[in-house]
Chains A and B, each alone.
Chain A
């Protein structure tokens, strides 16, 4: 009965009005039948049940067809006069209750819940639950939705849910308002469903995140929880409860800065996965001189750690945005005292300054002040909110770290491109020379801007190849590189990562060799150009194409084919 809560609310509210209508009808009908009337000739007659019911029905609803079957006598009219008030009041009471029901918040909520539940239950593809609708998750939802990945959203704010409905996502993104820290809400969002693949928990508050993550794991062990955590203790705690994917935006930035300084080509490969062109622009090379970090909070500490690991000299100025605004009554950095502080920190001979406070305005003004003092200095800014992006773009800052965007792209990548995500983790363990060679190979074989995509060799994504492998045929990666036009020629294609896993083992090969034998259900990360991608997709999906690149001959089928072949 759980599903028809709304029906129960209606029934419950309508009980008394219906009771009132029945009783007033009964009284009116009885009275009409008892009181004698006169027909056209003056003979006495009594209303039958049918006459009485008919008359009361149209009288009570104020339709009023008049006095039938004969004109009423005065005793009858007296009674009718009384019953008019009786039944009309009963009837209006009922209608009033219905109108109140339509506006009832509780009922509207129940109806919304029922609609949401049926929408979630109808999703047959794998789907992701996103908790909270804000700048970060909005970016994630936009990207995932464009790839056709199904998403369910829960936010505690009713207004935000309405905002989602106005976005007109296709496929639809069901959304409901509710307390995200309650198990009932998560169950409503379908966490129990077999096709629920992941829950995204990226709230500001670490403790809230940890609590929800734990709850998700308890409700459904198989579900992937993507959770944000900015402190070491919290991350440790989350790992202990078995959460694999923990996102710490500060650690991500710290790693990026470290690789950017020590191994720019590893950084380049990582950025390429996220959509950067496969080339380092001149102004993207970081200087190796002295660094100044303004703002020594979580972000400042993370950057300092990166610089320490890279062996770079740095000095930090502790600017707390909230304290600064309180003390100076402004968010504009750069009065005489501030300039003195920068000069003392050695701004004149420093080669790079990082503004990493929590306030975008202060960050901008720190950098403009620094540029006045030292025009050649390299500037890096932390941008806190995606909404300020246009101001930052016009401020001519060399490098901008946008926390919200970093969080969004990492989450998106984890959900939509799991193999690319693993690729990044693997290349982090390599050195700059290795990465430079790979970049060189990618550029010489494929070109300036190779496409990157991943496929799983299963019935859905690689029909022909999968079936051929299931039959026991041995196919190597080299076959997949062949051209559809001429099987002796190669397409411009490089396999970056090969992964095969079943219950017993996991096989992962970075830059797999050509003679690697493919297994069914393996997955591949592929870099290639547009033409090679089309060829590749044809070959793995189409029997005839696959047969051609395997043997160099056309596949013949059917009687006609056999006749022609013989």
Chain B
């Protein structure tokens, strides 16, 4: 068993699952989506990004790219949330939908990342 693979795999999949946890639910009502889950998704995604850094292979580059996409989308969602509630005086329907759909985009990137990761692991002979 490769301990490094366990750790990186854990964070890659956790990044996807927390992302999904936040995304799942009625996209028009913010009550169905926990801010805690968004926070967890951002932190775990950032950690996953750092873990992907420094891998010079082709696959490593693509994995890093997916992670960066997820980071940008999730942080974008959090920023929209903060802007809407502090600057524009409260969440309305439009900003809620934007937040959820951005996290949906991040989820897609995370799914691609996990698929690539699993594919690479299956190809490995050890």
Contacts and interface: CB of A to CB of B under 8 A. Distances in A.
A36 to B, nearest CB: 16
Interface stretch (A11-19, A200-208, A513-521): A11-19
- Secondary structure of the B contact surface, majority rule: helix
A102 interface: no
A247 B47 CA distance: 62
Interface string B82-94: 1001100000000
Given A23-B47, A26-B43, A11 B78 contact: no
Nearest to A27: B43
A22 B50 contact: yes
Contacts of B46: 22
19 contacts: A1-B56, A11-B53, A11-B54, A12-B53, A15-B50, A15-B51, A18-B50, A19-B47, A19-B50, A22-B46, A22-B50, A23-B47, A26-B43, A29-B39, A30-B39, A49-B39, A49-B78, A49-B82, A50-B86
Nearest to B46: A22
A48 B91 CA distance: 14
Contacts of A49: 35, 39, 78, 82
Given A1-B56, A8-B56, A15-B53, A22 B82 contact: no
A22 B39 contact: no
Contacts, number: 33
Interface string B37-60: 001000100110011011010000
Contacts of A11: 53-54
Contacts of A50: 82, 85-86
A470 B56 CA distance: 54
Contacts of A19: 47, 50-51
A20 to B, nearest CB: 10
Nearest to B64: A11
B54 A12 contact: yes
Interface in A44-102: 48-50
Nearest to A29: B39
Nearest to B52: A15
Interface of A: 1, 8, 11-12, 15, 18-19, 22-23, 26, 29-30, 48-50
Nearest to B81: A49
Contacts of A18: 50
Given A11-B54, A26-B43, 19 more contacts: A8-B54, A8-B56, A11-B53, A12-B53, A15-B50, A15-B51, A15-B53, A19-B51, A22-B43, A22-B46, A22-B47, A23-B43, A26-B39, A30-B39, A49-B39, A49-B78, A49-B82, A50-B82, A50-B85
A22 B40 CA distance: 12
A29 B38 CA distance: 13
B10 to A, nearest CB: 14
- Secondary structure of the A contact surface, majority rule: helix
A7 to B, nearest CB: 11
A48 B82 CA distance: 10
A104 to B, nearest CB: 16
Contacts of B51: 15, 19
A26 B47 CA distance: 11
Contacts of B54: 8, 11-12, 15
Nearest to A54: B82
Contacts of A29: 39
B46 to A, nearest CB: 5
A232 B72 CA distance: 70
Residue picked from B47, B50, B51, most chain A C-beta under 10 Å: B50
A23 B48 CA distance: 12
A220 to B, nearest CB: 28
Contacts of B39: 26, 29-30, 49
A46 to B, nearest CB: 11
A48 B35 CA distance: 10
Interface in B74-107: 78, 82, 85-86
A351 to B, nearest CB: 73
B109 to A, nearest CB: 19
B2 to A, nearest CB: 18
Nearest to B56: A1
A49 B35 CA distance: 8
A213 to B, nearest CB: 35
A23 B50 CA distance: 11
A18 B47 CA distance: 9
A18 B53 CA distance: 11
A2 to B, nearest CB: 10
B68 to A, nearest CB: 13
Nearest to B54: A12
A30 B86 CA distance: 20
Contacts of B78: 49
Nearest to A52: B39
B97 to A, nearest CB: 20
B19 to A, nearest CB: 16
A293 B39 CA distance: 91
B78 to A, nearest CB: 7
